[in-house]
Amino acid sequence: MSKEYEMVIGLEVHVELATKTKIFCGCSTAFGGAPNTHTCPVCTGMPGSLPVLNRQVVEYAMAVGLAANCSITRHCKFDRKNYFYPDNPQNYQISQLYLPICRNGGVEIETSAGKKTVRIHEIHMEEDAGKLIHDEWGDCSLVDYNRSGVPLIEIVSEPDMRSAEEVIAYLEKLRMMIQYLGASDCKLNEGSMRADVNLSVRELGAKEFGTRTEMKNLNSFKAIARAIENEKNRQIDLLEDGKKVVQETRRWDDLKEYSYAMRSKEDAQDYRYFPEPDLVPLVISQEWVEEVKSRQPEFQEEKMERYKKEYGLPEYDARILTGSKYLADFFEDAVKLCKKPKKVSNWLMGETMRLLKEREMEPDDIHFSPENLARLIDLTEEGSINGTVAKEVFEKIFDEDIDPVSYVEKQGLKTVNDAEELRTTIAQVIQDNPQSVADYRNGKEKAIGFLVGQTMKAMKGKANPGMVNQILKELL
Residue 278, interface with another protein (CB under 8 A)?
Answer: yes
- Of the candidates 69, 90, 111, 247, which one interacts with another protein according to CB under 8 A? 90
Least distance (Å) from another protein to the CB of residue 283?
A: 13
279 binds another protein (CB under 8 A): yes
Q: Is 270 in the site for another protein (CB under 8 A)?
A: yes
| 48 scored as a contact of another protein (CB under 8 A) | yes
Q: How far is the CB of 275 from another protein (least distance, A)?
A: 8
Q: Are 180 and 297 in contact (CB under 8 A)?
A: yes
Stretch that binds another protein, among 40-48, 67-75, 239-247, 303-311 (CB under 8 A): 40-48
Asked whether 132 and 69 are in contact (CB, 8 A), the reply is no
Is residue 89 part of the contact set for another protein (CB under 8 A)? yes
Q: Which is nearer to another protein, 98 or 460 (CB)?
A: 98
| Crossing angle of the two packed helices 419-432 and 465-475, in degrees rounded to 10 | 60
**Residues numbered 96-155 forming contacts with another protein, rule: CB under 8 A:** 141, 143
Smallest distance from another protein to CB 288, Å:
18
Give dist(CA 274, CA 378) in Å, integer: 63
Residue-by-residue DSSP string for 26-66: --B--S--STT-S--TTTTT-TT------HHHHHHHHHHHH
Q: Interacting stretch for another protein, rule CB under 8 A, among 7-15, 112-120, 254-262, 274-282?
A: 274-282
List the end-to-end C-alpha distance of the chain, in Å, as a whole number: 72
Half-sphere exposure of 57 (CA within 13 A, CB side): 28
- Cβ nearer to another protein, comparing 98 with 260: 98
Stretch that binds another protein, among 156-164, 237-245, 270-278, 331-339 (CB under 8 A): 270-278
Q: Which of 118, 182, 117, 126 is nearest to 153 (CA)?
A: 126
The greatest distance separating any two alpha carbons of the chain, rounded to the nearest whole angstrom, comes to: 94
Calpha distance 449→415 (Å, rounded):
19
Residue 30 binds to another protein (criterion: CB under 8 A): no
Binding flags for another protein, 194-233, as an x/- string (CB under 8 A): ----------------------------------------
Q: Does 51 bind another protein (CB under 8 A)?
A: yes
**Shortest reach from residue 311's CB to another protein, in Å:** 48
Q: Is 37 in the site for another protein (CB under 8 A)?
A: no
Q: How many CB atoms lie within 10 A of CB 24?
A: 23
Q: Give me Rg for the CA atoms of the chain.
A: 29
CA distances from residue 142 to 82, 134, 251, 275, 393 in whole angstroms, order as listed: 22, 6, 22, 31, 46
Stretch that binds another protein, among 173-181, 253-261, 269-277, 309-317 (CB under 8 A): 269-277
Is the C-alpha dihedral spanning 104, 107, 113, 114 positive or negative? positive
Contact 121, 155 (CB under 8 A): no
Stretch that binds another protein, among 42-50, 341-349, 371-379, 390-398 (CB under 8 A): 42-50
Tell me: does residue 281 bind another protein (CB under 8 A).
no
Please select the residue that binds another protein; options are 12, 33, 49, 56, rule is CB under 8 A.
Answer: 49
Q: Which is nearer to another protein, 42 or 374 (CB)?
A: 42
Give the E-state strand segments of 255-414 in sequence order.
Answer: 258-263, 274-275, 282-283
Which part of the chain contacts another protein (CB under 8 A), choosing from 83-91, 168-176, 365-373, 383-391? 83-91
- Residues in the site for another protein, rule: CB under 8 A? 41, 44-53, 80, 82, 84, 86, 89-92, 141, 143, 270, 272-274, 277-280
